[in-house]
Chain A
């Protein structure tokens, strides 16, 4: 067991940090949450800058235009990007972490050539059309119907929780192609162009008051058969490839940010006054913050363990579900602590003092984390059945 970064990792860190220092000031400042065109412009501009500097697709194989970085370099990448306050993947989330890796694993050479470079350069934004109003945790029961008509599929149905749909060019879409087969055996994975006639995007207002997600209504939408990834009715297996990516790398930058936020919370607690003392003088509150910090430290080490195991064996270990489950519940407890530190300042999403509004917004945002990408209950089923071998 060795936790020291290698010289290669440290050299990579130094180069990356130098690049970020000169690149970040060139990026336009962050925009309003609800200005979606501006958010797309900023996120894709940053993606293009990463691409030109050779950092795009940090986890993608070099054969497909990615950096092909060692897993340890990926951790360094997420650490430095987050520490510097550079944008995370933003609207490129689905393209870089879901659709892209699926296309790499399962698509034809033609499909790869068409989409992978465009995703890496920030020219194509993707969204995900998996969940439906009646197919959430039981995703395989999805009903959105695709009927073959010559060289096209004709698609009708409804999708929900489609992130960034209002600014997306393509959607990774799961459809039902064989309604008579067992539910896992009649699903197909398609590439849906979002400008196809019959696609209707209706933004959904979340508890934060903003519209990260949309509902997607599909009414006799025609998609060429050439847009199918994998075989007809093999879409469930294709989709599972995406899930392993989603649970694997996507929480890493979030976790680095959480450690930074916790340090920030300590600073706030040391200045917020309660009568003649500060919040930090409250022994009970301080003890709980110390406890949460220990848990975050342990989870970060767990990520290192998972990454090391994957590098050694070639397959991700059992860590992904464990980290997902534990982290998402922990970050909600940390959010509770933040509200307790803020006390009455927590009534406002505007800053009452420096950054106070951000903590309140975060408390709302992380409510979604124990639900999205496999709820905590689904994760416990996975751990119980696939790792511990308990009967269904």
Chain B
């Protein structure tokens, strides 16, 4: 047992962080709102860096890495708030041609979601639906779709859609079951990165912002909010990393409980930290100009995907005492 990152994992983490800092500074992320959330050139750069293919076998053009490495990569994408259907395209790599290479942008949804909110409708080439029977490529010509003029998260544009969600089969029931677990962990990792970024930006602000002739971070009322943000993030980190390792190592037993706990705690860390960050930033936290709202809104969006907090708490309860 050694629950620390290996040197290779640290290098991967640093590499993706550098890529995000260079290619996805906040002004560029914000600008993507006008491009449907995805810029094709940047998307291909993510693909070249292995974001979508890293878990494919080397023979299939991947890096042969595990969910643990996937989680580290998605944590960094979340820290930088990189928009787009990253998790879906990553899951689709190997099943949908062009996904791994960044040639086709793949979006998706869970079949039980009604009404169907299709994310990134103008950016995606392929829409997948996952249900108990498998993974389906939706024939979008058979959907009725109405654009959302005012999305909650400006970086998650959406259509309200209706109609038939099945089309050509892309995966068997086993794929669907695996996708739900992997999608929950990778989304959890993305939320974890967001929670950490929210803590960092709030700590920085609390050291700079002066009131009553002192930095506000010197007041315990603020200091304790920040301490709780940090603690929540670290507890979520332990949960997300453990769930990822559990998916990679069958000898650790069924991963369901660890995965549910990870998505639950990471989602809470991001949403609670988003609200705390708004409070610490005071009036500025309520402005469009400060980035906090973009994180909070994305956290709320992601809390609805790959299982809600309530779904996952119920799932853990269902596995207790058994």
B320 touches A383 (CB 8 A): no
Query: A312 an interface residue at 8 Å Cβ cutoff?
Result: yes
Contact residue among B215, B228, B234, B264 (Cβ-Cβ distance under 8 Å from A294):
B264
Interface size classification for chain B: 35 or more
Query: A184 an interface residue at 8 Å Cβ cutoff?
Result: no
B230 touches A388 (CB 8 A): yes
A302 touches B261 (CB 8 A): no
Query: B161 an interface residue at 8 Å Cβ cutoff?
Result: no
A297 to B265, CA, bound (A): 11
A3 to B264, CA, bound (A): 21
Query: A390 an interface residue at 8 Å Cβ cutoff?
Result: yes
A301 to B68, CA, bound (A): 15
Query: B312 an interface residue at 8 Å Cβ cutoff?
Result: yes
Query: B159 an interface residue at 8 Å Cβ cutoff?
Result: no
B226 touches A302 (CB 8 A): no
Query: A381 an interface residue at 8 Å Cβ cutoff?
Result: yes
A294-B316, A322-B231 known, 12 other contacts, Cβ within 8 Å:
A3-B245, A289-B320, A294-B261, A294-B265, A297-B242, A298-B265, A301-B239, A380-B227, A388-B226, A388-B227, A390-B223, A391-B207
Contact with B along A293-312 (1 / 0, CB 8 A): 11101110110110111011
Which 8 residue pairs are nearest across A and B when measured between Cβ atoms? A290-B317, A294-B261, A298-B239, A384-B223, A266-B321, A302-B238, A290-B316, A380-B227
Query: Which positions in B face A, CB cutoff 8 Å?
Result: 1-6, 9, 68, 199, 203, 206-207, 214-215, 217-218, 220, 223-224, 226-228, 230-231, 234-239, 241-242, 244-246, 249, 251-252, 257-258, 260-262, 264-265, 310, 312-318, 320-321
A380 touches B320 (CB 8 A): no
Name which residue of chain B comes closest to A310, CB basis.
B4
Q: Which residues of B contact A283 (CB under 8 A)?
A: 314
Q: Which residues of B contact A9 (CB under 8 A)?
A: 1
A295 to B313, CA, bound (A): 10
A267 touches B321 (CB 8 A): yes
A305 touches B238 (CB 8 A): yes
Query: A286 an interface residue at 8 Å Cβ cutoff?
Result: yes
With A1-B5, A270-B321 as contacts: A391 and B238 at CB distance below 8 Å: no
B313 touches A291 (CB 8 A): yes
A246 to B224, CA, bound (A): 22
For chain A residues 1-17, which have a beta carbon within 8 Å of chain B?
1-6, 9
A380 touches B228 (CB 8 A): yes
Q: Which residues of B contact A342 (CB under 8 A)?
A: none
With A4-B252, A390-B218 as contacts: A266 and B320 at CB distance below 8 Å: yes
Q: In the complex, how many angstroms separate the beta carbon of A285 from the nearest chain B beta carbon?
A: 9
Q: Which residues of A contact B220 (CB under 8 A)?
A: 377, 380-381, 384
Q: Which of B1, B246, B320 has the most CB of A within 10 A?
A: B1
A235 to B60, CA, bound (A): 63
Interface of chain B, main secondary structure: helix
With A262-B320, A301-B3 as contacts: A383 and B242 at CB distance below 8 Å: no
For chain A residues 227-272, which have a beta carbon within 8 Å of chain B?
262-263, 266-267, 270
Q: In the complex, how many angstroms separate the beta carbon of A123 from the nearest chain B beta carbon?
A: 34
For chain A residues 200-228, which have a beta carbon within 8 Å of chain B?
none
Q: Which residues of A contact B203 (CB under 8 A)?
A: 388-390
Query: A144 an interface residue at 8 Å Cβ cutoff?
Result: no
With A262-B320, A293-B317, A384-B227 as contacts: A390 and B9 at CB distance below 8 Å: no
Query: A30 an interface residue at 8 Å Cβ cutoff?
Result: no
B2 touches A308 (CB 8 A): yes
B245 touches A1 (CB 8 A): yes
Contact residue among A301, A308, A326, A392 (Cβ-Cβ distance under 8 Å from B4):
A308
Q: In the complex, how many angstroms separate the beta carbon of A355 from the nearest chain B beta carbon?
A: 14
Q: Which residues of B contact A384 (CB under 8 A)?
A: 217, 220, 223-224, 226-227
Q: Which residues of A contact B231 (CB under 8 A)?
A: 322, 325-326, 383
A297 to B207, CA, bound (A): 34
For chain A residues 334-392, which have a beta carbon within 8 Å of chain B?
377, 379-381, 383-385, 387-392
B1 touches A309 (CB 8 A): no
Q: Which residues of A contact B1 (CB under 8 A)?
A: 2-6, 9, 72, 304, 308
Name which residue of chain A comes closest to B220, CB basis.
A381
Query: A138 an interface residue at 8 Å Cβ cutoff?
Result: no
B68 touches A1 (CB 8 A): yes
A392 to B219, CA, bound (A): 8
With A263-B321, A294-B265, A298-B235 as contacts: A390 and B217 at CB distance below 8 Å: yes
A346 to B261, CA, bound (A): 29
A302 to B257, CA, bound (A): 16
Query: A21 an interface residue at 8 Å Cβ cutoff?
Result: no
A263 to B319, CA, bound (A): 11
Q: Which of B230, B310, B318 has the most CB of A within 10 A?
A: B230
Q: In the complex, how many angstroms separate the beta carbon of B31 from the nearest chain A beta carbon?
A: 31
A2 touches B2 (CB 8 A): yes
With A9-B1, A298-B242, A384-B227 as contacts: A3 and B252 at CB distance below 8 Å: yes
A387 to B252, CA, bound (A): 32
Q: Which residues of A contact B314 (CB under 8 A)?
A: 283, 286-287, 290
For chain A residues 112-156, which have a beta carbon within 8 Å of chain B?
none
B2 touches A312 (CB 8 A): yes
Contact residue among B199, B235, B313 (Cβ-Cβ distance under 8 Å from A302):
B235
A290 to B263, CA, bound (A): 13
Name which residue of chain B comes closest to A319, CB basis.
B234
Q: Which residues of A contact B224 (CB under 8 A)?
A: 377, 380-381, 384
Query: A288 an interface residue at 8 Å Cβ cutoff?
Result: yes
Q: Which residues of A contact B217 (CB under 8 A)?
A: 384, 388, 390-391
Name which residue of chain A comes closest to B261, CB basis.
A294
Name which residue of chain B comes closest to A264, CB basis.
B321
B242 touches A301 (CB 8 A): yes
B230 touches A383 (CB 8 A): yes
Q: Which residues of A contact B230 (CB under 8 A)?
A: 322, 383, 387-388
With A3-B245, A267-B321, A295-B265 as contacts: A390 and B235 at CB distance below 8 Å: no
B313 touches A312 (CB 8 A): no
Q: In the complex, how many angstroms separate the beta carbon of B85 from the nearest chain A beta carbon?
A: 27
A290 touches B207 (CB 8 A): no
Q: Which residues of B contact A298 (CB under 8 A)?
A: 235-236, 238-239, 242, 261-262, 265
B320 touches A263 (CB 8 A): yes
A2 touches B245 (CB 8 A): yes
A381 to B220, CA, bound (A): 7
